[in-house]
Amino acid sequence: MSRARTARRIAAGAAYGGGGLGLVGAAAVGLVLAEVQFAKRTVGTGLPDPPRADGLYGSEFGGPEQSPGPLRLGMLGDSTAAGLGVRRARQTPAALLASGLAAVAERPVELRNVALSGAMSDDLDRQVDLLLDGPEGREVPPPDVCVIMIGANDVTRRMPPTHSVRCLTSAVRRLRLAGSEVVVGTCPDLGTIEPVYQPLRWVARRVSRQLAAAQTIGVVALGARTVSMGDLLGPEFAANPREMFGPDSYHPSAEGYATAAMAVLPTLCAALGVWPESDRLDMSRDEDMLPVAKAASAAADEAGTEVTAARGPWALLKHRRRRRVPGEEPEPPARAGTGATGTPDAEAVSGPA
């Protein structure tokens, strides 16, 4: 069965309440069970909690009191969205995206990150609550744009893909109804991770790319945009793994997160209409208009590819030119931020570092 057809089945099951359509058969699961346990013991251990980066970025473009006020950016997802593996707030992908958006829009950006390390897609509903309710349950304006990075833990913990996509689309729908633009960084290709060996590597690649395609089908229908994470770090990892990945050889290093942020930034800016390029196709970059399922499948094969709705069952497949993400220091937030659990965060009080 083609990936596009499988992704359509998963997305349809998610939309219409289907059961746990499996990505691999029971025999394959049995073959890789020992490898899964080994990989879990190898990766993601011994890392400190990710630094908090909430605050105001791009203060040189104005302050919170100046009209039209800062853009509001929300970050949701798992350890990749949280920035697990780096030590400084400005090295997290959320901070990099906030700095980049401020530079492109020439407007300050207020960042709030509610991502949680280890989260699966079923945690997104809680994260949306935190983002829309604000600190300590106070009502706050919805973000202008949200970035969601999710899916890797769904694969490694064997969440049924229909449930995974259903949880993601529910979160995207809530954010869209609140008035936010949404960009989803789809499930990365877990077959590129060094501690993952055969036959798990082949299975991990297959299931993660199928999930990425199904995520794209589900959220594009709601007016969101996706960016394929795919094997974004694969070539760089093979050439220089010590720089691109952190100590556990699983989570990105600061350089790895910068690479991922550069892939997402053009789509983030385009969602707000501030990217200098239009949504028109550029044939010199192999851009195309395809049925949504085919566009989703093609994007899963090529990291950094954007998929956005066109008309009817069609979607645009875009390869936007990347720009270096500024690494500016953020301003300290005006008030205490909150962590993913909703409790005050000490670093948010003193300001990101």
Query: Which residues belong to the active site?
Result: 79, 248, 251
Question: Any idea which residue has 């950094």 for tokens?
Answer: 304
Contacts of 224 (CB under 8 A, 6+ apart): 172, 176, 181, 182, 183, 184
| Residue 97, amino acid | L
Residues 144 and 141: their CA atoms lie apart, in Å, by: 9
Q: How far is CA 230 from the centre of its chain?
A: 11
Q: φ, ψ for residue 253 (rounded to 5)? A: -85, -175
Q: How far is CA 135 from the centre of its chain?
A: 22
Q: Are 274 and 104 in contact (CB under 8 A)?
A: yes
Q: Are 53 and 84 in contact (CB under 8 A)?
A: no
DSSP H or E stretch at residue 38: helix 26-42
